[in-house]
Amino acid sequence: MISIIAAIGKNRELGKENKLLWRISQDFKRFKDLTSNHVVIMGRKTYESLPKKFQPLPNRINVVITRNKNAIKGLINQTTTIFCNSIETALDKAKEFNNEIFIIGGASIYQQGIKYADKLYLTLVDKEYLEADAFFPEYGEFKIVKEENHQDEKYKYKFIELIRHF
């Protein structure tokens, strides 16, 4: 199964200048719980935006998509990270591990990968971010199968799971 996991604002906002727009501890926990012991696919910029202590993400097989060979020279020796030059190659490599595959960003990787996705795990943050420069693709071909409302000291948000409807 190919899944996508993301946290987005009211207008599908993902981030600004390769950074998240919010920090929600329950969202990070959900991300960790869902993706641990699975394959995660991400773009190089997303990989580089991770705190150094989480490069590669622990307890996961990390697949990084990049066409910039120079950018990965210092990373190439990492044993739990696979580098690919396209979403298709990344998915082929990930399928070798016979596990749920999670596409974890960024925006262009979501855009390329959504046509392959069977399931979406979204955190919908009840906020607009006018300063956002990265957006999640349209996902109208998916239907909600599970929804949980949450609130912390800063945000109202909901966790939703969607499956592609045929």
- Confidence (pLDDT) at 98: 74
- Confidence (pLDDT) at 73: 60
- Percent of the chain's residues with pLDDT above 90: 81
pLDDT in tens, 64-86: 999 886 766 655 556 678 999 99
Burial of 56 (0-12, 13-18, 19+ CB in 10 A): buried
Residue of higher predicted confidence among 111 and 78:
111
Beginning with the edge strand found earlier in the chain, give each strand of the sheet holding 13-16 in spatial order: 19-20, 13-16, 134-135
Mean pLDDT of the chain: 93
Strands 81-84 and 61-65: parallel
Range in 24-38, 79-93, 100-114 with the lowest mean pLDDT: 79-93
- Confidence (pLDDT) at 99: 80
Residue 82: partners with Cβ closer than 8 Å, 6 or more residues away: 61, 62, 63, 64, 90, 93
Q: How confident is the model at residue 15 (pLDDT cuts 50, 70, 90)?
A: very high
Taken in order of first residue, the domains within the chain and their CATH numbers are: 2-164 (3.40.430.10)
Q: Does 58 have pLDDT greater than 70?
A: yes
Cα–Cα nearest to 55, from 81, 28, 86, 34? 81
Q: What number is the average pLDDT over the span 122-132?
A: 96
- Confidence (pLDDT) at 9: 98
